[in-house]
Amino acid sequence: MLLGMNASNKDAVLLNYIGKKTLAKLACYSCHDIPGFEDGKAAGAALADWGRKEPSKIAFEQVAHFVMNQLEHGHGGHHGGGHHAAGEHGAKESTAAGDEPLAPDLAYAAAAHGHVTPESVDPDTGFFLEKLLAHEREGFLWQKLRQPRSYDYKKAENKSYNERYRMPQFPFDAKQREAVMTFVLGLVAEPPAPQFIYKPSPREEARLNGLVVAEQYNCGGCHTLRMDRWDLRYQPESLGTAQEVADYPFLSPHFTPQEVGKSLLTDRQGRRHATLVGMPVLDPETGRPQLVDEDGVPIEEGDTEALPHRPVMLWHDALVDGEPRPVGGPNVMVPEDAIRAGRHYPAKGGDLARLLFPVVIADEKQINPNVKPDDAWGWLPPPLVGEGKKVQSGWLHKFLLNPHTIRPPAVMRMPKFNFKSTEAAALVNYFAAVDGADYPYVYDPRLDQSSIAATEKTRPGHLTGALKIVTNNNYCVKCHLVGDYAPPGNPKALAPQLETVHERLRPDYVHNWIANPKRFLPYTGMPVNIPFDKPVSQDLYAGTSEDQVDALTDLLMQFDTFAKRNLSLDAYLKQQPPQPPPAAQNTPPTAPLPPQAQDGSRQRPIALN
């Protein structure tokens, strides 16, 4: 076959042949997806029923002699000494010079006692050594995980290269090795007893099932699924002082007296403890976490005198020095030493959004040099933290099956993954389960028309007054799309369509969002339009701030019904001018009278005017 080939083609064919043989020998396809090796033979023995495998069918070979020979001579697995006889060639091949000792704890026992027995070492090691000497499964597996190639002892010289053991030596410590042994010994090729089967709660099962789908479709590649968390150990008062902000009572942070007291305790080093959950503030030019001084001024490279701080944008209310730090307030300036003394748990997901953060800012600066860095997050894939309490389950299910644009300034659109309905449902349930929200069916009185009818009896013009606020140029329509109306100005400042809010969002979320948007999306550019202590003009809606927030919520949740109720068809139902009667000769035959109804009356045509 190779005779008719030139030298270059011959080399290519031979290299391809050797490459395939090498991949088959090393069983690379066991871990990696390699085209052409989909049906490759497994590298090792099947483990499905290894926990019940007969010891007589397990190849112990001369491993017991290997262990005892090495330990009694105190070599601990090194085979480079010149005192080895020629017959020990297999031992020299089984471990390369410079490898870690096979069992340094046993070698030490041999040096101390002169002769190794299971009783002369610590109980754990002695147990497995006794099992090995008795040719039992536990002993075989213990040594196999310690040094797999030791089973070639006194055999390697009689084996070809392809017949030697190929299992690599994994860097297990004693605890990890015992965990693997426990798992393998539990493989008995039959279901475990019912009492040992993990039975998660419905919410936990929904979380686990949804997590499988989220990882399969790499939802975390674009979206943040879990925010950063810092468990800080800081010097008292080193994180700045809390600022009191007047807010609605239903939005105020709440901590128990026990939690407040715990936040004031100090450890033996005089440090207090606090947990922050949020986002590190990124540098708009590099996209890396900012490093600033105590006043929030970026630290220049080479500056060794300034005390470095990391600004953190909170996503959960926190307790610092016994004072609440609410979401939506000023960023918390965390000293670098407080982070080093504590522990940081990185965010899960959102990698693409963080990579694009400086890119979209640089692009917008070409049009608007005064762009705010926080605005850029509104143009990127949004975090999905709190998604379960935000959106309605039915809407999210439909959106996953057929995504569409929600935020006009977004620089990317969500692709259509062609989810199965069950996969989309698993994701919907996952978000609801993680956030403790109701699913899959949600009932809220604000979605019921009867509740609005009752409200309008006590407050005439309830929804009409709310619409006046929406359509006032100082409020909603300044940024939001409403029906076929689009606000003028920079497209990057456009906000989502309001006429579909009743389908997309949960009423409680809408109500609280209107009251203070930054409490739910810290980087949002939407202001507090109706402050807690300052309602909008009474000419638009007569009532307190909370009354006006309730009215806007009711309007958005009933927008479709309200719009249909106020839709006039007069322009479409104008009567056509009467037509002159036809000539006598063209008069058609008289039409029969309408049939009588069951009650004896005759049917009459319906008038639309």
Please report, for the domain that includes residue 508, its CATH number. Answer: 1.10.760.10
| Residue 472 in domain | yes
What pLDDT score does 35 carry?
A: 84
User: Does residue 340 sit in the same domain as residue 461?
Assistant: no
Distance CA 469, CA 487 (A): 15
Is residue 32's pLDDT more than 60?
A: yes
* Residue 492 in domain: yes
Task: Give the per-residue pLDDT at 16.
Answer: 86
Phi, psi dihedral angles at 337 (to 5 degrees): -70, -25
Look at residue 63 in the predicted model and tell me its pLDDT: 84
Mean pLDDT of 85-94: 38
What is the total count of domains within the chain? 4
Determine the pLDDT at residue 120: 64
> Does residue 252 share a domain with residue 280?
yes
If asked whether residues 268 and 174 sit together in one domain, one would say: no
Strands (E), 448-491: none
Please report which confidence band the pLDDT of residue 405 belongs to, taking 50, 70 and 90 as the band edges: very high
Residue 257 sits at φ, ψ, to 5 deg, of -55, -35
Residue 594 maps to a domain? no
Please report the pLDDT score of residue 157 as a whole number.
Answer: 72
54 shares a domain with 39: no
Whether residue 466 is found in the same domain as residue 481: yes
- In this structure, is residue 94 part of a structural domain? yes
Q: What is the pLDDT of residue 97?
A: 36
pLDDT of residue 8: 66
List Cβ neighbours of 32 (8 Å cut-off, separation of 6 or more): none
pLDDT at 103: 45
Pairwise pLDDT comparison (568 vs 409), residue with the higher score: 409
Same domain? 26 vs 77 = no
**What per-residue confidence (pLDDT) applies to 491?**
87
Q: Going by C-beta distance under 8 Å and a sequence separation of 6 or more, which residues neighbour residue 202?
A: none
- Regarding predicted confidence, which is higher, 289 or 191? 289
pLDDT band, residue 7 (cuts 50/70/90):
low
In angstroms, the first-to-last Cα distance of the chain is 91
Identify the pLDDT of residue 161. Answer: 67
Of 407, 412, 404, nearest to 352 by C-alpha is 412
Joined tokens for residue 505: 């969002």
Burial group, residue 305, by CB count within 10 angstroms (0-12, 13-18, 19+):
exposed
Kindly tell me if the per-residue pLDDT of 273 is higher than 50: yes
| pLDDT tens per residue across span 131-147 | 888 889 898 998 889 88
Cα–Cα distance, 569 to 398 (Å, whole number): 31
273 lies in the same domain as 256:
yes
Distances (CA, A) of 443 to 438, 446, 448: 9, 9, 9
174, 57: one domain? yes
Residues 251 and 326 in one domain: yes
343-345, strands of its sheet edge to edge: 332-335, 309-314, 272-280, 228-234, 343-345
Quick check: is 365 in a domain?
no
* Chosen domain end from 544, 565, 586: 565
Say what angle helices 545-557 and 462-471 make with each other, to 10 degrees.
Answer: 90
237, part of any domain: yes
Same domain, 238 and 307: yes
| Domain final residue pick, 346, 369, 403 | 346
pLDDT higher than threshold 90 for residue 122: no
Residue 75 has pLDDT above 60, yes or no: no
Residues 285-337 have pLDDT tens digits of: 999 999 998 888 888 877 778 889 999 999 999 999 999 999 999 999 999 99
Cβ-count burial of 295 within 10 angstroms (0-12 exposed, 13-18 middle, 19+ buried)?
exposed
Please confirm whether the linkage preceding 236 is cis (ω < 30° from 0): no
Between 591 and 516, the higher pLDDT residue: 516
Q: How do residues 514-530 score in pLDDT, each as one tens digit? A: 999 999 999 999 999 99
What integer pLDDT is reported at residue 580 of this predicted model?
A: 72
Same domain, 456 and 559: yes
Tell whether 36 and 70 lie within a shared domain: no
Q: Which amino acid is at 453?
A: A
The CB density around residue 540, as the number of other CB atoms within 10 Å, is 20
The tens digit of pLDDT for each residue in 203-242 reads 999 999 999 999 999 999 999 999 999 999 999 999 998 8
Query: In the Cβ-directed half-sphere of 126, how many Cα atoms lie within 13 Å?
Result: 10
The pLDDT assigned to 109 comes to 42
pLDDT in tens, 39-60: 777 777 788 888 888 888 888 8
* Mean pLDDT, the chain, integer: 84
Least confident range from 103-112, 273-282, 381-390, 453-462: namely 103-112
Domain assignment present for residue 435? The answer is no
Chain-centre distance for alpha carbon 183: 28
- Structural domain containing residue 263: 228-346
Which of the residue ranges 52-66, 70-84, 169-183, 243-257 would you say has the lowest mean pLDDT?
70-84
Q: pLDDT grade, residue 115 (50/70/90)?
A: low
- H or E stretch including 333? strand 332-335
159 assigned to some structural domain: yes
| CA 434/CA 429 separation, integer angstroms | 8
**Looking at this protein, which amino acid is placed at residue 88?**
E
Which of the pair, 400 or 563, is modelled with greater confidence? 400
